[in-house]
Each structure stands twice: as structure tokens, then as C-alpha cells.
Amino acid sequence: MKKIEIIRGDITKFDGDAIVNAANTTLMGGGGVDGAIHRAAGPALYAACEKFNGCPTGEARLTLGFNLPAKYVIHTPGPVWHGGQHQEATLLANSYRHSLELGDQYGCQTIAFPSISTGVYAYPLKQAAQVAIQTISEFLKTAKHVQVVTMVCFDAVTLKAYQDALNDYQK
């Protein structure tokens, strides 16, 4: 049965088919979850990302997981929050959808996401969680391979926001 799980933890420890990296548009590593994934995967991830010459906001690229437990890393740059009037919700939904489509295309059954754009990109957490849950839920209705999508939340505040968004969506 297809489902969304919400856990608190470290996405670099996720043992599944793919993890999603909340990347920047260069795909060359950065702070937050992006830097953590690059450090955990090792230097081969940087080399694999170089060949893409970046990635536009809302799109996604796939590499191997290298030293990570996950087989693949799906890199997606989420939008920077500019007040909500600059297509941020559409771009954020695209980041989730394109990541899921890429995972499905590669036969992934389990995919883990961090909270995209809610760190240094300043997307309001509650709104980001609602976009994520709605987009993932809609995708799962037609997914060929993806069975379980796990939201891996870094802290208790993020965990609660995603739990609330899932509860609201299921009402």
C-alpha cells in the first residue's frame, strides 16, 4: 500500500532506494542538508554533479548515492521565498513532483525527502509542508514504482508541521 511516513532523523542515514537533496542550482554542495549529503556521500558525488552544469529551480537530477545507504540521490533546487507572489508554491511543488517522477522512472520504491526550501531559503514551514504533502499524495495515486515516501524531519518543529499537514490533508 502506498503511503507517506513522517519521521525525525538524519536523511543521510536513510536506507532506501533514494534520498532527495535540497540542493542549490549549482548542485555543487552548500550548507544545511545539501552539505551534509555531500559530506556523507563522499567526493564522488561532487564529481557526478559536475556533469549536469547545474539544475534550474523546480527541476531534478539523479546521481548514485556513493557512500550513502541510499542507492540514489535526487537533487532538486527548491525556491527561495520572496513573499509568496513569485511562483514559490508552483516551484516548490515542481521540486517534489519532478523528484518523485525521476525516482519512479528509476524504479525506486522508497524515497526520502527533507523539508525543501524551509532552511536558508526561508519558505514558511507550515506552507511548505502543505505543498509537499499535497504534491506527494497526488503523485502516489499514479506512481508506478514508488510505494513509500518518507519525510525526514531534522527537528521537532519540522516534524510537527509535516504531521499537521498530513492530518489536514487526510481530513
- Comparing CA positions, the residue from 42, 32, 27 lying closest to residue 10 is 32
Of the candidates 17, 34, 104, 164, the residue annotated as catalytic is 34
Residues across the chain: 171
Determine the Cα–Cα distance for residues 23 and 117; give it in Å rounded to an integer.
9
Cα→Cα distances 120→52, 80, 151, Å: 23, 8, 18
Q: Give φ, ψ of 81 to 5 degrees.
A: -75, 125
- Identify whether 104 is a catalytic site residue: no
Coil, strand or helix at 26: coil
Active site residues: 34
